[in-house]
Amino acid sequence: GPELTGPYAQEIKQNLKGIFALDKFRPNQFEAIDATMAGRDVFVLMPTGGGKSLCYQLPAVCRSGKTKGVTVVVSPLLALMHDQVNGLRAKNVDAVLLTSNTRDEEAQEIRSRLYSNSKPTLLYVTPERLKVSTNLKNMLSHLYRGQELARFVIDEAHCISTWGQDFREAYQELHTLRDDFPDVPIMALTATADRKTIDDIMHRLQLRTPAVFQQSFNRTNLNYNVKPKRSVDEMVAFIKQSHRNETGIIYRTGRDKCEKLAAQLRQKGLSAKHYHAKLDPTDKETVQAEWQSGECQIIVATIAFGMGIDKPDVRFVIHFDLPKNMDGHVIFPYYQETGRAGRDGLPADCVLYYAYRDLQPILKMIRDSRDPNTTKASIERQEQAVRAVVQYCENESVCRRIQILQHFGEKFDKKDCRGRCNNCASEGLLVTQDFTNEAKSVLTLVQSLEHGKENVTVDHCRNIFKGANVSAVRDKRHDHHPNFGAGRDMPKELVELLFNKLLYLDALMELSTQTNSKWHQQYLKLGSCAHEFLAGRRTLQLSYRPKTPK
């Protein structure tokens, strides 16, 4: 690799080998360490498993930097802090941990050590402790006056941002660090950040022209795949075929669904347990321990499972429901959840089982939210986020990595995917076909219904187009409509794709109507671009892989 230079390089390299027993740095680690030792504010963006902790553990043990003394690490993850402190002690690094659970005697001992000449090298604290403990604040002020505060490290820095899903009340207080200790450099680290969140973090922590290190979010060893969701049996077959006796996580969006699916998997001979927020704490620990040890192969969990999980050999992460998230982000949490696979760098599968029918209940839940803070804008933001996932699932022509990484503002070259997503892998099978006539036919159908002042749902309209023999269509005499059955020859998936594409292009839109105080019904109307298609000024191509018959 390139020569590591600079005033601190010697000591940094020595400690990498001597203390951390590592041969070489991963991308950006050395640069981030060098920048914090030079006294700069630093912002590190690295995917989970990328090696963030070395970025602050290593400079903490160095003596040649601009600032000296104790490195204070703030992290929200108790279990992770315990692990790190134990790991450091095993390397003979003097690290202590102060949380809201720390016993008084122990806290007292840490305090007297900080006032003495045998100060610890790293002080790990929870944001809650930092917020409420005046003792701790006095101690930090004492260190500051003696120029014994080397740096503040804010791990999981996205928790400070209200944009993120992991917002933590106590993290908000961290903005006072800059006011109270203006000369102490800050290092913020996170694995989850889009442009908006990054700016928000920097602003809230009052970082001063920070050195920003952003590693590619591409996880080369992960295989991204979207499959049609048909049955549990198909998923079981996939697991048995590709991951027999290997460890995996299956994410579901409801507690009942987790329990039910885990039971189904056991019935089919797989070792599986469920995990969700309502499990009592001892059960949670047991399930997690059994999974961690490999005694239990598969965990079926809600997103409650995962924060702080560090099992290196997870070979598959399956999303069996359309991922959802109530904060207006979906692709980020999806990326983070899949990121728990393959942390050892070996190949792992991320499979999303997609069915368009999963969308409606989510939209309904968003609209029916009883949260008093819900505004029209927040509902729209959430809906948009869910639709972005639908887009991701239905877009079979663009490399999945390109689609995911664009949400991180990262440009990705398709050739670097090396066929490790199902779109690249089946590129040759992709068919692009013109559906302009079919599009027009759908739009004239919607137009004529609109003229007749008839409110119909997407489902209903799709049924007319397909020529479905269902009572809802017959009852409204829509089986006599001239466009009834116009799409009779199109496979079901393709009709869905056509309607979704028209919605996406704003040729169609769904209009919410309040039919009583809390129930919103979605009606299909022409969108702002419909006339371009109707006037013959625009064509419509669909790319899809013809489904192999089951």
Binding residues vs ligand ADP (CB under 6 A): 22, 25-26, 29, 46, 48-54
Q: Which lies closer to Zn ion via its Cβ, residue 15 or residue 218?
A: 218
Q: Which lies closer to ligand ADP via its Cβ, residue 189 or residue 279?
A: 189
Residues in CB range of 28: below 8 A, 6 or more apart: 44, 46, 55, 213, 214, 215
Q: Torsions phi, psi of 322, nearest 5?
A: -60, 125
Residue given tokens 């050395």 in the structure block? 30
> Which tokens is 384 given?
């948009």
Up-side HSE of residue 211: CA atoms within 13 Å toward CB? 19
Length of the chain: 550
| Residue 46 interaction partner, one of Zn ion, ligand ADP, none, beta carbon < 5-8 Å per kind | ligand ADP
Q: Which lies closer to ligand ADP via its Cβ, residue 188 or residue 272?
A: 188
| Residue 417 interaction partner, one of ligand ADP, Zn ion, none, beta carbon < 5-8 Å per kind | Zn ion
Q: Which lies closer to ligand ADP via its Cβ, residue 58 or residue 540?
A: 58
| Residue 314 interaction partner, one of ligand ADP, Zn ion, none, beta carbon < 5-8 Å per kind | none
| Residue 424 interaction partner, one of ligand ADP, Zn ion, none, beta carbon < 5-8 Å per kind | Zn ion
Q: Which lies closer to Zn ion via its Cβ, residue 22 or residue 398?
A: 398
Smallest separation, CB 43 to ligand ADP (Å): 14
329: helix, strand or coil: coil
Distance CA 394, CA 544 (A): 8
Q: Which lies closer to ligand ADP via its Cβ, residue 90 or residue 377?
A: 90
Footprint of Zn ion on 381-410 (CB under 5 A): 399, 401
Smallest separation, CB 329 to ligand ADP (Å): 19
Instruction: For residue 223, count other CB atoms closer than 10 A to its CB.
Output: 22
Question: Which run of H or of E encompasses 113?
Answer: helix 104-115
Smallest separation, CB 26 to ligand ADP (Å): 4
Point out which span in 74-82, 128-136, 365-373, 413-421 binds Zn ion (CB under 5 A): 413-421
- Longest Cα separation, the chain: 90
- Spell out the alpha helix ranges (H) of 162-254: 176-180, 195-204, 232-242
The answer to whether the beta carbons of residues 40 and 210 sit under 8 Å apart is yes
Q: Which lies closer to Zn ion via its Cβ, residue 419 or residue 485?
A: 419
Q: Torsions phi, psi of 113, nearest 5?
A: -65, -35
Please report, to the nearest 10 degrees, the dihedral formed by the alpha carbons of residues 528, 533, 537, 538 taken in order. Answer: 100
Distance CA 542, CA 277 (A): 41
Smallest separation, CB 423 to Zn ion (Å): 5
Smallest separation, CB 25 to ligand ADP (Å): 5
350 interacts with Zn ion by CB under 5 A:
no
Q: Which lies closer to ligand ADP via its Cβ, residue 28 or residue 225?
A: 28
Smallest separation, CB 367 to ligand ADP (Å): 36
Distance CA 44, CA 295 (A): 36
| Residue 26 interaction partner, one of ligand ADP, Zn ion, none, beta carbon < 5-8 Å per kind | ligand ADP
Smallest separation, CB 430 to ligand ADP (Å): 35
Smallest separation, CB 84 to ligand ADP (Å): 8
Q: Which lies closer to ligand ADP via its Cβ, residue 405 or residue 497?
A: 405
417 interacts with Zn ion by CB under 5 A:
yes
> Which tokens is 178 given?
């800059």
Smallest separation, CB 195 to ligand ADP (Å): 20
* Beta bridge mates, 301: 251, 275
Distance CA 186, CA 205 (A): 8
* Centroid of chain to Cα 97: 28
Q: Which lies closer to ligand ADP via its Cβ, residue 48 or residue 338?
A: 48
The answer to whether the beta carbons of residues 305 and 249 sit under 8 Å apart is yes
* Beta bridge mates, 544: 431
Distances (CA, A) of 362 to 84, 266, 356, 369, 376: 39, 28, 11, 11, 16
Residues in CB range of 370: below 8 A, 6 or more apart: none
Number of residues that bind Zn ion (CB under 5 A): 5
Smallest separation, CB 19 to ligand ADP (Å): 12
Q: Which lies closer to Zn ion via its Cβ, residue 47 or residue 185?
A: 47
Footprint of Zn ion on 420-449 (CB under 5 A): 421, 424
Distance CA 385, CA 278 (A): 26
In eight-state DSSP terms, residue 313 is T
With CB atoms as reference, the residue minimizing the distance to ligand ADP is: 51
| Residue 29 interaction partner, one of ligand ADP, Zn ion, none, beta carbon < 5-8 Å per kind | ligand ADP
Smallest separation, CB 82 to ligand ADP (Å): 13
Q: Which lies closer to Zn ion via its Cβ, residue 324 or residue 401?
A: 401
Smallest separation, CB 416 to Zn ion (Å): 9
Smallest separation, CB 422 to Zn ion (Å): 8
Distance CA 478, CA 513 (A): 22
Residue given tokens 């309209």 in the structure block? 461
| Residue 421 interaction partner, one of Zn ion, ligand ADP, none, beta carbon < 5-8 Å per kind | Zn ion
Q: Which lies closer to Zn ion via its Cβ, residue 140 or residue 402?
A: 402
Distances (CA, A) of 62 to 24, 37, 134, 136, 479: 17, 8, 29, 24, 78
Residues binding Zn ion (CB under 5 A) = 399, 401, 417, 421, 424
